[in-house]
Amino acid sequence: MTVEQFENCKQCLNRKKGVIEKENICNLKGKSIEFENTCTDFNLDNRVVLGKENKINAIRPNFKRAKIAQLFIWIVMALDVVSIFSSYSQYNLLKSLQNNEEVTDQMLNSNDTRQQIIGIL
C-alpha cells in the first residue's frame, strides 16, 4: 500500500476507528486491504464520502424519528391525563363506599374494567 492509498483509506468513512496499521484499517466487507493499484471497494462503494464538508452533509437527518418520538410522548401524556380522571372517579367511588352510599356491582365492575384497560395501555 502506498502512502497515497493509505491517506485515502484514512479519509474513508468505512475505516476502523482508531486503527493506524495499514493492514487492518479497512472495514469494508470485514476484510483487510488487498489491492495492488487502487482499492476497488473504495472506488465502487457509493457510501464512501471524502472531505470534511461532504462528511458533514452525509449525516442522516433525524427529523422523522424525532417526530415519531414526539408523537409517542404526546400519546403517553394523553394517557396520563385519562388515567388521572379515571383515578379520580375511582376515588369518588371509594368515598361513596366509605360513606355507606349505595354502589352497585355494575359500577364496581365497570370501574375495575376501566382501570385495567388504562393500566394495560
- Domain spans of the chain? 3-57, 63-120
- What pTM was computed for the model? 0.48
The answer for residues whose C-beta is within 8 angstroms of residue 121's C-beta and 6 or more apart is: 79
Q: Is 12 exposed, middle or buried (0-12, 13-18, 19+ CB in 10 A)?
A: buried
Give pLDDT, residue 103. 85
The number of angstroms, rounded, from the C-alpha of 65 to the middle of its chain's C-alpha atoms is: 7
pLDDT digits (tens, 9 = 90+) for 59-104: 667 888 899 999 999 999 999 999 999 999 999 999 998 898 888 8
Q: DSSP state, 24?
A: G
Query: Do residues 103 and 97 touch, judged by C-beta distance below 8 A?
Result: yes
